[in-house]
Structure 1
């Protein structure tokens, strides 16, 4: 598995949509048993392969197929809105998004078919499968879920809407809380203002330093924001503004493991 860089929907009015109230900023998780990732903690992003966390790391994200890191706060990565390459046959055909010609709608950057969220029945059936993965994360001992590709509607050829994405993610959030798991918003800064309605507890923001978006996430989530940058420039910008308050790490684009030629991990 490789990482996925943020694909942004350039919305001129995004700043207005991110207005939140003070009560939202101090919101507690829906389930009293849910524990949020510690803010401003040393973090490592290991979705490309699990390895022994560097000294001092307190929070780790790993793929749902991996075991959590012993003694740390562990976030379970789940590709919740798209289908992993090679797993198309594991989904009912009518749960895969198709255009008017019957062709699958594909995220071309990653070769992943989009899931079809257009009806309540489809959202419920898709959530049932993904919630099974969430159950697996809970059984392994993870404390939180990172559902990726919340922004798939922006790549759907206008077939999906933000409202459908929020309705579906609400199903996952409710289930995660029922399993005493926190759940994060992955990217999709234009929907950060809806975090309380959907039931999201923290944010994982790729390249918010690079694209000057970190403040928008902070407006919605307070200091419960984990920043992943992929360039030195992005890391420097994030660290200069939020190095004392947020969890920030720079990784290589492939999120590789130590020993690989492209491995990069830097912090503030």
Structure 2
């Protein structure tokens, strides 16, 4: 497979996470006083699940290409939703939420063909770089159905023991031939954030600086970025998320060396260098460095 150069704010698939966590949402509500008194009863709403955000500065590893024993000192990892979380670390679950995984296209065509984005001729709109068909987030009805499918994956992440989720390809509208907008994807991301929080998971914004102004409204808790040093975007993410940023640079990509990136950004984001295919440590071509 020929791997294309990454573009600024591209929504590929890479991320990270760890053990030292910060509690951000433990909301407990007591009795609904007015109505309950009127009816002579006391009812309680169930407490919301605890959501733990990653701490700023956590050492992490990006393992979405396959899990392996994390390097010494790593506190957080990101792994695919079908992988197991790493024992004793803060684990982020990778979910391809806005496009299909290449091996799953037949299932989508069979069960939910109308949820695949199509061009004027009825053909699926494809992210040519990765061979993935875009999901159609253009209507509220379709977003609701997609949220049930992707939401079940998010629930599965929680059941497996992950602490957070990173939904990838938030920027699919950039590859949609004008059929999707930022607002479509922001609305869908908001639904996924609600589902993640209901399952007790933090949720990370994956790339896409042009949606940073909406990050709080959507409900994102931290960020996972690719090549933010190459595109001078690290500061924007660091400011938006108070340093709760897992930043992945790729070996051989761009003009800025990793040492230079570390010098510029290691005090603002958690920075790691990986090979572009994000290979497990046992495979030839594996690259891992941290600042």
Tell me, yes or no, whether TM beats 0.5.
yes
* Mapped partners of 1:101, 1:43: distance in 2: 44
**Which of 247, 254, 257 is residue 277 of structure 2 equivalent to?**
254
- Say whether 1:179 aligns with 2:202: no
Cα RMSD, aligned residues only: 2.0
Q: CA deviation at 1:41?
A: 1.2
Q: CA deviation at 1:6?
A: 4.5
Is the Cα contact below 8 Å between 1:31 and 1:178 reproduced in 2?
A: no
Q: CA deviation at 1:210?
A: 1.1
Alignment of 1:1-268 (within 5 A): 6-8=6-8, 29=24, 33-91=50-108, 92-231=112-251, 233-268=256-291
Q: Once structures 1 and 2 are overlaid, which stretch shifts more, 41-50 or 226-235? A: 226-235
* Mapped partners of 1:222, 1:76: distance in 2: 21
Q: Once structures 1 and 2 are overlaid, which stretch shifts more, 131-140 or 210-219? A: 210-219
Instruction: Return closer, same or farther for 1:37/1:219 CA change in 2, 3 Å cut-off.
Output: same
Is the Cα contact below 8 Å between 2:56 and 2:242 reproduced in 1?
A: no
Instruction: Return closer, same or farther for 1:5/1:62 CA change in 2, 3 Å cut-off.
Output: farther
* Mapped partners of 2:4, 2:223: distance in 1: 16
Aligned length: 250
Which structure has more RCO (C-alpha within 8 Å, separation ≥ 6)?
Answer: 1
TM-score (norm: length of structure 1):
0.88
* Mapped partners of 2:24, 2:182: distance in 1: 23
Structure 1 unmatched runs, 5+: 11-27
SS of 1:76 mapped into structure 2:
strand
Is the Cα contact below 8 Å between 2:67 and 2:79 reproduced in 1?
A: yes
